Structure 1
């Protein structure tokens, strides 16, 4: 049986973040994820999770300027100290909230001549964070993002993630596979999932090309979700899309997959 979580950073955005927990439970879900939860205190989040009987299954390490058009944090050689401070912040939240996974966004490199240095820094930081989180029983994941939405993104394919996993070879590290981003890059998502689900710690989805809910674009979710359900994958599948109308209407479009 598939396990779906709702991403509260993109869904129910007509409400303040602290009210979206209740909205997710009222919509019939028992798990949520948040891109960056740090605008809420640990105690606020714990209270909401307890009150509404929810699991928080995933959130991200701070990515600095990434969502504002900058390069981010995890791969910039000059920001290693800042990245480690971000890891400590995330550790405080992770120890209290016990997510299944913590995601690290590689970020962008706008100077192609520095890409090798950025990749090396990212791998060093990724291994550092994985070591810090693994003793809590939390999987560290990292994500490839399409370069149409984010030009210069450092990791932009499933194969690039597979290569990094092989190079770092840490049992606490896995991929976060985002169907929308990889479909946008022209990847054969079904083929990749069929081959590499054992290396994936978390899945996210949105339709493509518009990043709306399933049924708003061209992705064959019936095939992809069926493939996942028949596999040995037992992780969470995060709804990380931008509703084409309001969130509740968007959820109705893919209720039959649950």
Structure 2
């Protein structure tokens, strides 16, 4: 199994450029970053190269989403702003060697119907796929629970699959976070079996606290072994909030644990 570390949540005891070396020392071969845009792409690329780790995924800029706003991808009035975010994401993706970018749907904006938001999101996903495809970069999209993020537009794997079926692009992948699906009380073994052909990227944390594996109630080992048995060959990214210094939460990473 291939495990990556989310540098936006792990090793946050260190500045972002220093997290690459710490990740490599801990035994990870790859990392992902939610929003790397506050640090120069060249600085991050140099740190990744020096550490010998691959950067597998970043998010497309999402406007005010992380500050509690609706974001960019599902707002009809902000399609120009979404389009303007794509070249910025491409610049970072190319500098870092990233081959996958995640478009976050965002929250349902005030004054926008759900139907309008979904239509806008589908159009923006198609635009993003067309934009990144010539560069060998795949677009994925993610459902997020609406307990942690009230008002989030897509909350389950089924909702995400229905939305992707309305897109013209057939190569947009599903990003499945086991933590978010558990918070929505989804049957995780069933959804993994149902949606495996479309799953391009997996993230995980324990629930309900979003800590490291073993800190909560999820059968993460079982779920990840199921993915392996089903033939999933993508990355599984640890995107949790460590309950202790990150290096003290990595017992799950040892080979014999899986």
Normalized against structure 2, the TM-score is what?
A: 0.96
Moved more, 106-115 or 178-187: 106-115
Residues 161-194 of structure 1 show CA distances to partners (whole Å, capped at 9, x for unaligned) of: 1112222152331100000001000101111111
Are 1:17 and 2:4 an aligned pair?
A: no
Q: 2:87 matched to which residue of 1?
A: 88
- Distance across 2 between alignment mates of 1:144 and 1:171: 18
After TM superposition, the structure 1 = structure 2 runs for residues 1-258 of structure 1, keeping only pairs within 5 Å, are 2-111=1-110, 114-255=113-254, 256-257=256-257
Distance of aligned partners of 1:40 and 1:113 in 2 relative to their CA distance in 1, 3 Å threshold: closer
Displacement after TM superposition at 1:95 (Å) = 2.4
Contact 2:206 2:217 in 1 (8 A): yes
Structure 2 Cα separation of the partners of residues 110 and 42 of structure 1: 31
How far the C-alpha of 1:254 sits from its partner, in A, is: 4.5
State the 1:112 CA deviation.
7.3
Structure 1 stretches of at least 4 aligned residues deviating more than 3 Å after TM superposition: 110-113
Q: How many residues align?
A: 257
Answer whether contact 1:139 1:201 (CA < 8 A) is retained: no
* Aligned equivalents of 1:86, 1:112: Cα separation in 2: 23
- Alpha-carbon distance between aligned partners in 1 of 2:61 and 2:253, rounded to the nearest angstrom: 31
The answer to whether the 8 Å contact 2:75/2:112 transfers is: no
Q: Secondary structure at the match of 1:89?
A: helix
1:97 CA drift (Å): 2.2
Partner-residue secondary structure (3-state), 1:168: coil
Q: Deviations over 1:50-78 (max 9, x none)?
A: 11111000000011111111111111111
Q: Secondary structure at the match of 1:50?
A: helix
CA RMSD of aligned residues (A): 1.4
Unpaired segments of 5 or more residues in structure 2?
none
Unaligned segments of structure 1, at least 5 residues: none
Distance in 2 (CA, whole Å) between partners of 1:202 and 1:76 is: 25
